[in-house]
Amino acid sequence: MKINVAETRQNKGFTLIEMIGVLAVIAILAAVLIPKVFEAINNSRINNSAMSCQSVKTAMADHYAKAGSFSAEATIYGTNIPVTLPQENYDLILLREGFMDKPFAAKIGDGITGTTGTRARAANIGATSPGLNWTLGTAVDATETTGFALSGGNTNVVVGSACLECVITGLNANDAKDLNDRIDGPTLGAAVGVADLAGRVKYAAPGTGSTTVYVYLTHR
C-alpha cells in the first residue's frame, strides 16, 4: 500500500511543544502590551481632563467679553443679570449663555458633580470665610481656593474680585500628579502622594487615598 507522505503531513496537528511555544509568545506579548494599553487609556483620560479645563477657560473668556464682568450673567436680551460670588457652579451660567454645551466634567476623579463635587467655580477673592483666607508670606494652602502661587514659591499673585477655577474631586495620587505635570510641567510638581501647592494646579496630600484638585483658569 502506497502512503501519501504530503497528505499525512497535512493531517498532523500541533505538537505539545509547538503549542507551548505559541502560548509563551502570547504571554510575552500580553505582558508587554497590556501595560501599554492601560497607560495609553490613562494618558487619554488625563489629556481629556486638561482639555476640558481649557474649554472652560475659553468659555469664561467669551463670557467676560460679552458681560464685561464675572459678577454678571449676560443674557440674549442684552441686559446683564447680577451674579453674587462665590458661584460654585459657574459652568451652569456658561451653559445658559451658550458658551458651553454641557456642565464641566472630568474623566478622572470620583465622577461626582455638583456644588461640592467636580465643577467650575468663581471664587470671591478676599472672602473671610474659613478656607478662603490668604496671608502673604505663608505657605500656599491647598484649601485656599482664591490663592495661587502661579510661578511657584509661596507668593499669591491672584488679586481682584474673582478667581475662576476648575475643581476636580476624588483624584488618586497618580492622577493628581499626572494632571499637574500635563498642565504645569514636572518642574512645578511634587512627588506622587505629596501635596502640590505651586503653579496652576494645586492639591493637598491624598491622605486616605484621594484629594481635591484646583486648576487655576483666570482672575479679574
User: Cis omega before residue 86 (within 30°)?
Assistant: yes
In the chain, where the domains are located: 38-219
* CB 85 within 8 Å of CB 123: yes
pTM of the predicted model over 0.75: yes
pLDDT in tens, the chain (220 residues): 555 555 555 556 678 787 887 888 888 877 777 676 777 788 899 999 999 999 999 999 999 999 999 999 988 677 788 988 889 999 999 999 999 999 999 999 999 999 999 999 998 876 544 344 445 455 566 666 677 888 887 777 888 888 899 999 999 999 999 999 999 998 888 888 888 888 899 888 887 788 999 999 999 8
